[in-house]
């Protein structure tokens, strides 16, 4: 049975384009796939704790050394990390905010990027090397942007710190099977936005079929 983790990062509700694409993904998935478990993690409408000195001091201790209070400080982090390890497929939907990602998503990433939980560090010939612990997983990035021109080779590529950052940080986590579905120009006129949305929906259909049926 496939375990799927759905992460939404948009602060918007029903008018969020990234959420709409996530809903479409889930709807199409449910119509095609029987054996699945879906876990939802909403970052946009939750209070994701920021890193504090107490959090750092608790994290650097071993599991056995932590007091009950320190364990409680890391409670959210432990839960987020468990969800990532348990998932076979991670679907992360996020808008672009100020050419990057929402602060809640950054806070979430800070919570999960823990040594010996998500990655390890080895030293070879005097150089540090990161080894991600999230192996053999698929990550689907569903990205929305208010304007266009952020793709590779386009005029605003140099301003795109959204997918470039996410690809890098999840690569450090060990995820190599990455799929990206983007909708550009969410502020366009309704007719134009509909065309962009339909393109993304076709990509979602193809990806669901690839992830669940291509190897069968």
Domain range for residue 175?
2-213
Of 46-55, 159-168, 206-215, the range with the lowest mean pLDDT is 206-215
Between CA 118 and CA 134 the distance in angstroms is 7
Residue range 63-94, pLDDT digits in tens = 899 999 999 999 999 999 999 999 999 999 99
Q: Which of 97, 95, 98, 79 shows the shortest CA–CA distance to 40?
A: 79
Q: Are 179 and 142 in contact (CB under 8 A)?
A: no
Structure tokens at 108: 């979430």
In this prediction, residue 143 carries a pLDDT of: 96
Query: Going by C-beta distance under 8 Å and a sequence separation of 6 or more, which residues neighbour residue 167?
Result: 141, 178
Residue range 3-20, pLDDT digits in tens = 999 999 999 988 899 999
Please give the tally of structural domains in the chain. 1
> Dihedral (C-alpha) 96, 174, 91, 81: value to the nearest 10 degrees?
-100
In this prediction, residue 216 carries a pLDDT of: 43
Confidence of residue 156 (pLDDT cuts 50, 70, 90): confident
Residue range 118-149, pLDDT digits in tens = 999 998 877 889 999 999 999 999 999 988 88
> Dihedral (C-alpha) 33, 200, 156, 176: value to the nearest 10 degrees?
20
Residue 183, strand partner residues = 144
**Is the confidence at residue 160, as pLDDT, over 70?**
yes
Confidence of residue 215 (pLDDT cuts 50, 70, 90): low
One-letter-per-residue 3-state SS of 139-168: EEEEEEECCCCCCCCCCCHHHCCCHHHHHH
In this prediction, residue 35 carries a pLDDT of: 84
172 to 80, 84, 130, 132, 180: CA distances (angstroms): 17, 14, 6, 5, 17
- Mean pLDDT, rounded, of the chain: 93
Domain CATH number, residue 158: 3.40.50.360
């Amino acid at each position: 049975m496939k375990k799927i983790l759905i992460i939404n990062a948009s602060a918007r509700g029903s008018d969020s384009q990234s959420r709409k694409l996530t809903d479409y993904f889930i709807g199409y998935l449910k119509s095609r796939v029987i054996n699945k478990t879906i876990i939802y993690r909403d970052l946009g409408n939750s209070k994701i704790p920021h890193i504090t000195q107490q959090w750092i001091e608790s994290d650097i201790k071993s599991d056995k050394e932590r007091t009950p209070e320190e364990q409680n400080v890391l409670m959210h982090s432990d839960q987020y990390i468990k969800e990532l390890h348990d998932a076979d497929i991670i679907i992360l939907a996020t808008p672009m905010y100020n050419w990057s990602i929402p602060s809640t998503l950054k806070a979430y990433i800070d919570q999960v990027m823990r040594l010996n939980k998500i990655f390890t560090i080895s030293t070879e010939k005097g150089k540090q090397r990161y080894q991600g612990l999230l192996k053999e997983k698929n990550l689907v990035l569903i990205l929305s942007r208010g304007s266009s021109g952020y793709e590779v080779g386009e005029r605003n590529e140099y301003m795109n710190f959204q997918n470039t950052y996410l690809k890098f940080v999840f690569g450090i986590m060990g995820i190599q099977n990455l799929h990206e579905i983007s909708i550009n120009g969410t502020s366009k006129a309704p007719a134009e936005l509909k065309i962009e949305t339909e393109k993304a929906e076709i990509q979602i259909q193809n990806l669901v079929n690839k992830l669940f049926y291509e190897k069968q």
